[in-house]
């Protein structure tokens, strides 16, 4: 079974355990009402989880989840991992040791000795008789919940709907354990008061057939046996890792990155593990689980040194329309030296995962906008450098807000110019409408900025905007820290030319007929021209909009 399927199975087991934990917490929180309410809730809880199907599902999931965790710990070649993953591993490994006392004294005692474990007896033990175990139980609850929340968050965070759902889920994630712990505290106080009643404690222990001394010793032996076995399993896994490492050390390979570094790693590691061993920043939104595609690399040399992608890897690669020489770094284990190019910047936002748009270079129909400040260079000659930077940053903030507000992506801020892309995901019709809306918002922003900076400027700032729509190659381009989503091609070239033409026409906007047609906006009221563009045989039909404010009625009446 591949690591991908192991993780899938482990996740499925976690999805059985999650409702158990949630219902357990809800049951605890009934303590805020009364001990009797807790007991009533417990009846339903046990009806589900102590039935045969419930028992099989629960213990099956615990065994599968635990054993697969140890298997994955053995499988991973490097223990270097992101902090969140290390935290989740640590919490996961602590859980059995923290819960063993509670499980043996409740479920196992019920199972083997017919001892009933109502809340009154459990809370009596944890709150009154052995408060040190109560503290441990609170710690266990916290660790279990954090382990689950980290897992859920990192499994879901690259889903498109997740950012919108996150505040609600976070509220639930916070409320559930808090209410459970408050319920436990409330029940603890109620039981402590009852325990003062003469004869109440012995009567409770007798009626629930609490384990006697011999049974308690037996439970202790079970507990120690479990802890020793668990510790032994951990030691065996770590020893097996050491043996493998010693063996693998004799055979190593080199992973060369076209961006610079070369990492020497033992044969058997994945490319992502090699990146981690060599401390080469490498995107891995899902933590190497083969689900997000952000680790993907182009194999420039040594493609035949990689085993064919598994079905699961092929599925993920197909979702992003990957070329045949692209592989998931977290799944590909080279047998010999390889040279690769990571295709996604290490700092990718989780929302960008599995987006088959442009992150590795694809042809798209989109709208491209160029804008430039008019006469700013001349104005800057008479200003202190500090003032130039201040004014430019205010300008970039105004146009950047207008672009992103309309749905575009600000791409390049160069000198006093800006390039923006629209419709990468939604297509050129939406992109063209967004670009026209952005142009309008940019000019309005400039008007506000001129009012604000009236005392600083010798003349109002003016802007020239060119917009064209058509095909372009979109992708993440650049190097090192300067890695960004951009577009190249004729459409970009033409849009830049139209922006230049605004100077000749003394206009705020020059827009191609292609944009107007795609946006469904009638620009017949504006003068038409045909512009020659270098390297194009056909001139480009454009409309010249002297004042962008005049566009408003056309945009309002557009479909």
Are 522 and 516 in contact, with CB atoms under 8 Å apart? yes
> Does residue 292 interact with ligand FES by CB under 6 A?
yes
Binding ligand FES (rule: CB under 6 A), the pick from 253, 265, 286, 545 is: 286
From CA 273, how far away is CA 269, in angstroms rounded?
6
> Does residue 88 interact with ligand FES by CB under 6 A?
no
From CA 347, how far away is CA 387, in angstroms rounded?
32
CB of 122 or CB of 292, closer to ligand FES: 292
Region from 33-41, 108-116, 241-249, 286-294 binding ligand FES, contact rule CB under 6 A: 286-294
Residues numbered 304-343 forming contacts with ligand FES, rule: CB under 6 A: 328, 330
Region from 70-78, 208-216, 290-298, 436-444 binding ligand FES, contact rule CB under 6 A: 290-298
Region from 28-36, 196-204, 281-289, 489-497 binding ligand FES, contact rule CB under 6 A: 281-289
Instruction: Find the shortest distance in angstroms from Cβ 285 to ligand FES.
Output: 6
Which residues in 415-539 belong to E strands, given as ranges?
A: 417-422, 462-479, 482-488, 509-512, 528-531
**Binding mask of the shown chain, residues 238 to 277, with x at each position contacting ligand FES by CB under 6 A:** ----------------------------------------
Pairing of strands 252-257, 417-422: unpaired
Region from 219-227, 288-296, 341-349, 450-458 binding ligand FES, contact rule CB under 6 A: 288-296
Region from 8-16, 282-290, 393-401, 415-423 binding ligand FES, contact rule CB under 6 A: 282-290
> Does residue 288 interact with ligand FES by CB under 6 A?
yes
| 275 CB-contact burial (10 Å; exposed 0-12 / middle 13-18 / buried 19+) | buried
Q: Which residues contact 490 (CB under 8 A, 6 or more apart)?
A: 470, 471, 472, 535, 536
Count of residues touching ligand FES (by CB under 6 A): 13
Binding ligand FES (rule: CB under 6 A), the pick from 104, 137, 155, 284 is: 284
> Does residue 14 interact with ligand FES by CB under 6 A?
no
> Does residue 134 interact with ligand FES by CB under 6 A?
no
328: number of CA atoms within 13 Å, CB side? Answer: 30
SS3 352: helix
From CA 42, how far away is CA 38, in angstroms rounded?
6
**Binding mask of the shown chain, residues 167 to 206, with x at each position contacting ligand FES by CB under 6 A:** ----------------------------------------
> Does residue 298 interact with ligand FES by CB under 6 A?
no
Using the 8-state DSSP alphabet, how is residue 307 labeled? P
End-to-end CA distance of the chain: 53
> Does residue 294 interact with ligand FES by CB under 6 A?
yes
Q: Which two tokens stand for residue 351?
A: 């929302």
251: number of CA atoms within 13 Å, CB side? Answer: 10
Instruction: Find the shortest distance in angstroms from Cβ 193 to ligand FES.
Output: 53
Q: Which residues contact 8 (CB under 8 A, 6 or more apart)?
A: none
Binding interface with ligand FES (CB under 6 A): 284-286, 288-295, 328, 330
């Amino acid at each position: 079974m591949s690591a991908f399927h192991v993780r899938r199975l482990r996740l499925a087991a976690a999805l059985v355990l999650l409702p158990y934990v949630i219902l357990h917490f809800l049951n605890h929180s009934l303590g805020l009402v009364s001990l009797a309410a807790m007991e009533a809730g417990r009846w339903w809880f046990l009806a589900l989880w102590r039935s045969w199907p419930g028992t099989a599902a629960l213990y099956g999931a615990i065994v599968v989840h635990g054993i697969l965790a140890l298997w994955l710990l053995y499988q991973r070649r490097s223990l270097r991992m992101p902090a969140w993953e290390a935290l989740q591993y640590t919490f996961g490994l602590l859980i059995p040791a923290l819960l063993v006392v509670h499980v043996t004294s409740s479920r196992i005692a019920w199972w083997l000795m017919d001892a009933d474990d109502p809340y009154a007896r459990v809370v009596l033990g944890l709150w009154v008789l052995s408060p040190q175990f109560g503290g441990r139980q609170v710690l266990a609850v916290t660790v279990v919940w954090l382990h689950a929340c980290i897992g859920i968050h990192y499994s879901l965070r690259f889903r498109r709907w997740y950012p919108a759902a996150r505040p609600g889920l976070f509220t639930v994630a916070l409320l559930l354990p808090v209410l459970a712990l408050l319920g436990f505290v409330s029940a603890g106080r109620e039981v402590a008061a009852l325990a003062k009643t003469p004869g109440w404690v012995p009567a409770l222990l007798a009626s629930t057939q609490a384990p006697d001394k011999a049974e308690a010793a037996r439970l202790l032996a079970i507990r120690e046996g479990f802890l020793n076995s668990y510790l032994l399993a951990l030691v065996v896994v770590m020893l097996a890792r050491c043996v493998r490492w010693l063996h693998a050390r004799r055979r190593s390979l080199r992973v060369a990155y076209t961006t610079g570094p070369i990492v020497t790693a033992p044969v058997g590691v994945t490319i992502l593990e090699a990146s981690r061993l060599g401390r080469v920043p490498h995107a891995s939104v899902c933590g190497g689980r083969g689900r997000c595609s952000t680790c993907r690399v182009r194999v420039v040399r040594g493609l035949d040194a990689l085993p064919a992608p598994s079905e699961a890897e092929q599925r993920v690669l197909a979702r992003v329309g990957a070329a045949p020489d692209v592989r998931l770094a977290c799944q590909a284990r080279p047998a010999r030296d390889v040279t690769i190019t990571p295709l996604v910047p290490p700092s990718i936002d989780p929302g960008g995962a599995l987006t088959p748009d442009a992150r590795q270079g694809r042809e798209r129909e989109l709208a491209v906008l160029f804008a430039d400040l008019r006469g700013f260079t001349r104005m800057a000659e008479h200003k202190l450098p500090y003032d130039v930077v201040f004014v430019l940053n205010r300008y970039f903030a105004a146009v950047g807000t207008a672009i992103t507000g309309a749905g575009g992506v600000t791409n390049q801020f160069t000198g006093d110019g800006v390039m923006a892309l629209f419709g990468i995901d939604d297509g050129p019709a939406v992109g063209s409408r967004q670009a026209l809306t952005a142009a309008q918002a940019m000019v309005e922003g400039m008007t506000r900025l001129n009012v604000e900076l009236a005392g600083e400027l010798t003349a109002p700032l003016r802007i020239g905007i060119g917009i064209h729509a058509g095909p372009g190659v979109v992708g993440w381009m650049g190097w090192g820290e300067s890695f960004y989503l951009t577009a190249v091609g004729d459409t970009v070239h033409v849009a830049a030319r139209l922006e230049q033409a605004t100077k000749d026409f003394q206009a705020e906007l020059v827009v191609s007929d292609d944009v107007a047609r795609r946006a469904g906006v009638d620009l017949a009221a504006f003068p038409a021209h045909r512009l020659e563009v270098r390297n194009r045989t056909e001139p480009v039909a454009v409309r010249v909009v002297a004042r962008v404010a005049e566009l408003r009625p056309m945009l309002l009446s557009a479909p």
